[in-house]
């Protein structure tokens, strides 16, 4: 496994790979890797000849009230996991390589970036869109694999790639969960033992709501009741909403088809994100 920290070196590797005709699967991360990340690597491995992973804690994704310095970092542990997963290349750029002095270009996204995490974290998806675009160009990836846990992020990246005519295929991989149902996330490391024990209730309430709605129950009362139970249990729910999967527009009452249930609830100072597919009957 090759670890690269210099952009010129990465570009040289990209040229050699293109000349060889070998395809590249890519998994962008901010490190603090867990089982979910490794399943994305495995998915990329199934689809391409070689796999690259980036580890870069992107400052553009953090707003004024968010502490970039508190984001978990474990370089040695991350590299050991990637080596064990059969990763071929790890791109670990310094901040100045991604955003050199004088850099003045960012990517603004509307559509699926509006509302929800876009509203809760102003500028977040500008950072996501900008860094992903740069990473796709830097690596020359043929396929990039993203987890479906961050559903809105996945739709934003798909929108950017389509709008900018980028020649990279975007693959969504189903959310990877712990044995108790909690969606795997780097932020789970920040939960206290008591919070970690409570955290799976978010997925439990969502799953119960999905089953009720799939059975014909009216979404509004079902979601309101689930949100109330989460609040009584000690969560601070921010939203629990039913949306169109790609556009994230509100789901129309009485419409049949596959919707997406998006949820964010805070436990202590940790915001837990999750989502599930819902097939509503006609």
* Beta-strand relationship, 236-243 and 257-267: antiparallel
173 is catalytic: no
* Beta-strand relationship, 89-91 and 2-4: parallel
The answer to whether 241 touches 223, Cβ cutoff 8 Å, is yes
Report DSSP letters for the chain, one per residue. -EEE--HHHHHHHHHHHHHHT--EEEEEE-S---HHHHHHHHHHHHHSSEEEEEE---GGG--TTS-GGGS---HHHHHHHHHHTT--EEE---HHHHS-TT--------GGGSSTHHHHSTTHHHHHHHHHHHHHHHHT-SEEEEETTSHHHHHHHHHHHHHTT---EEEEEPPPB-TTSPBP-GGGGGS-HHHHHHTTHHHHHHHHHHHHHHTT--HHHHHHHHHHHHHHHT-EEEEEEEE-TTT-PBPPTT--EEEEEEEEEEETTEEEEEEEEEEE--
Q: Which of 34, 37, 124, 137 is catalytic?
A: 37
Q: Which residues are catalytic?
A: 37
């Amino acid at each position: 496994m090759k670890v690269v920290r210099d952009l010129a070196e990465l570009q040289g590797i990209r040229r050699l790979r293109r000349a060889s005709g070998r395809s590249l699967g890519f998994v962008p991360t901010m490190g603090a890797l867990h089982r979910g990340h490794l399943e994305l690597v495995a998915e990329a491995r199934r689809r391409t000849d070689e796999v690259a992973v980036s580890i870069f804690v992107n400052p553009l994704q953090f707003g004024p009230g968010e502490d970039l310095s508190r984001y978990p970092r474990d370089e040695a542990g991350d590299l050991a996991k990637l080596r064990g997963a059969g990763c071929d290349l790890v791109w670990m750029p310094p901040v100045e390589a991604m955003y050199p002095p004088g850099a003045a270009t960012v990517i603004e996204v509307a559509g699926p970036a509006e509302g929800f995490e876009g509203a809760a974290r102003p500028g977040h998806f500008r950072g996501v869109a900008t860094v992903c675009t740069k990473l796709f160009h830097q690596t020359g990836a043929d396929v990039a694999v993203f987890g479906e846990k961050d559903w809105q992020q996945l739709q934003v990246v798909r929108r950017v790639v389509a709008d900018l005519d980028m020649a990279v295929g975007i693959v969504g991989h189903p959310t990877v969960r712990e044995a108790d149902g909690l969606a795997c996330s780097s932020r789970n490391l920040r939960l206290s033992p008591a919070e970690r024990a409570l955290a799976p209730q978010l997925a439990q309430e969502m799953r119960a709501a999905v089953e009720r709605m799939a059975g014909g129950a009216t979404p509004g009362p079902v979601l309101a009741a689930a949100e109330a139970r989460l609040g009584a249990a000690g969560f601070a729910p921010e939203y629990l909403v039913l949306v169109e999967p790609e556009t994230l527009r509100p789901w129309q009452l009485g419409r049949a088809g596959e919707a997406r249930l998006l949820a964010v609830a805070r436990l202590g100072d940790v915001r837990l994100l999750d989502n599930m597919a819902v097939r509503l009957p006609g």
